[in-house]
């Protein structure tokens, strides 16, 4: 008998590439509009709700003929400010946060089409203007570390190489990557695939974390989080509102529980969802910056399909990268030198959309 197991869909198929690309376009458009809402006195809760609403609206407009195709939020919109590391997305019953001039706001969100996920994160300075001191250091460290990671996200490279370069660039700016944070391989309906890239691992984490070699036709959500402090996240009194369904099987006795589970399964599948991950914080007074992008490892090269440009000139600091190897890496092209075949035009179009 033939094997009935469904073959895993990858970016070796043009249609899968198209779905990733469309999801990437959607999250970039939503990110731009969410950033525009990040002004002094704005409500973090309202911004998060606005971002989620936009993702649902935008994903509903594509692939309408595929009636069984699931689309929507792959990662609920979060606005984590200053020393809040990640996952701040308060529900109405929780304490809100109102943005202030000069805040460092990390916007994190994701969308999917038919389970093909595009995630993105970007850090903005509320109110704009010149950025100095430790805020400038951490912004440049996180941004340049993400740019270096992009250049190492190539088939044949090992995940440990990316871990090391993020650590080194952060150190050049007197900062530390947030300990133990993972960037995962993305698969259909899986935001946390088998392979991952760890940041600033402890000795125990370094021993336990599985080494892996990147391969063609893989997709990664590369997430860089850098802190001016120790780089150690800690829980405070902020309630966790973002959850994800696991593969565990339970016998639910209450009708309300069964109804809730059914709604989560139908609306979100295995994607993270918000009740409207733990909310983590650095020590008070410290700052955390984040940049995240989605990258497709295609035969024609690595294609970044999410992420917005970042203006480095707004950051004024005396610190610079002195390591010649790091500078050489950052000055290298993020684009592939391989000539692309002109059979479909799909990959050609994606190269134009790569954020510089």
Q: What is the reported pTM? A: 0.85
- How far is 84 from 90, CA to CA, in rounded Å? 13
Cα-based distances in Å from 295 to 93, 191, 355: 36, 13, 11
Pairing type for strands 104-113 and 71-81 reads antiparallel
- The model's pLDDT over 328-348, given as tens digits with 9 standing for 90+, comes to 999 999 875 555 444 444 443
What are 177's two structure tokens?
Answer: 């990557």
The alpha carbon dihedral of 8, 65, 304, 184 has a sign of negative
What are 85's two structure tokens?
Answer: 């590391």
pLDDT grade for 235, boundaries at 50, 70 and 90: confident
Question: Phi/psi of residue 261, each to 5°?
Answer: -60, -40
- How far is 302 from 196, CA to CA, in rounded Å? 17
Cα-based distances in Å from 327 to 144, 165, 175, 333: 10, 11, 17, 12
Contacts of 341 (CB under 8 A, 6+ apart): 300
- Residue 34 sits at the vertex; the CA angle it makes with 271 and 297, to the nearest 5 degrees, is 50
- Looking up tokens 């895993």 gives 8
Q: Which H helix or E strand runs over 84?
A: strand 84-86
Q: Which fold has domain 14-331?
A: Creatine Amidinohydrolase (3.90.230)
Q: Which H helix or E strand runs over 288?
A: strand 288-298
- The model's pLDDT over 97-143, given as tens digits with 9 standing for 90+, comes to 999 999 999 999 999 999 999 999 999 999 999 999 999 999 999 99
Q: Give the number of other Cβ atoms within 10 Å of residue 346's Cβ.
A: 16
Cα-based distances in Å from 122 to 32, 78, 261, 290: 10, 11, 32, 6
- The model's pLDDT over 304-314, given as tens digits with 9 standing for 90+, comes to 999 999 999 99
Between 285 and 3, whose confidence is greater? 285
Contacts of 340 (CB under 8 A, 6+ apart): 300, 347, 348, 351
pLDDT at position 341 is: 46
| DSSP state, residue 92 | T
pLDDT at position 234 is: 82
């Amino acid at each position: 008998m033939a094997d009935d197991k469904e073959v895993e869909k990858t970016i070796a198929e043009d249609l899968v590439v198209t779905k990733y690309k469309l999801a990437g376009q959607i999250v970039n458009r939503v990110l731009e509009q969410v950033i525009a809402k990040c002004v002094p006195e704005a409500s973090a809760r309202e911004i998060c709700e606005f971002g989620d609403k936009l993702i649902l609206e935008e994903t509903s407009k594509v692939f309408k003929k595929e009636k069984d195709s699931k689309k929507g939020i792959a990662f609920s919109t979060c606005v984590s400010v200053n020393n809040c590391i990640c996952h701040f997305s308060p529900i109405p019953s929780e304490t809100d946060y109102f943005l202030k001039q000069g805040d460092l706001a990390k916007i994190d969100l994701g969308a999917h089409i038919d389970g093909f996920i595009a995630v993105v994160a970007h850090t903005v300075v509320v109110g704009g203007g010149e950025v100095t001191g430790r805020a400038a250091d951490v912004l440049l460290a996180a941004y340049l570390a993400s740019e270096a990671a992009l250049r190492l996200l190539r088939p044949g490279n090992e995940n440990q190489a990316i871990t090391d370069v993020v650590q080194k660039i952060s150190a050049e700016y007197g900062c530390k990557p947030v300990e133990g944070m993972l960037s995962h391989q993305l698969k259909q309906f899986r935001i946390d695939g088998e392979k991952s890239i760890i940041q600033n691992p402890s000795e125990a984490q370094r021993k336990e974390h599985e080494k892996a070699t990147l391969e063609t036709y893989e997709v990664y959500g590369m997430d860089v989080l850098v802190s001016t402090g120790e780089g150690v996240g800690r829980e405070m009194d902020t309630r966790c509102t973002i959850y994800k369904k696991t593969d565990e099987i339970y016998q639910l006795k209450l009708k309300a529980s069964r109804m809730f589970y059914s709604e989560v399964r139908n609306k979100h599948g295995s994607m993270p969802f918000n009740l409207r991950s733990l909310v983590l914080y650095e020590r008070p007074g410290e700052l955390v910056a984040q940049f995240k992008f989605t990258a497709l490892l295609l035969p024609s090269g690595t294609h970044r399909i999410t992420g917005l440009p970042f203006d480095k000139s707004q950051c004024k600091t005396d610190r610079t990268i002195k390591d010649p190897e790091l500078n050489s890496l950052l000055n290298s092209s993020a684009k592939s030198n391989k000539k692309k075949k002109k059979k479909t035009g799909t990959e050609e179009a994606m190269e134009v959309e790569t954020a510089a």
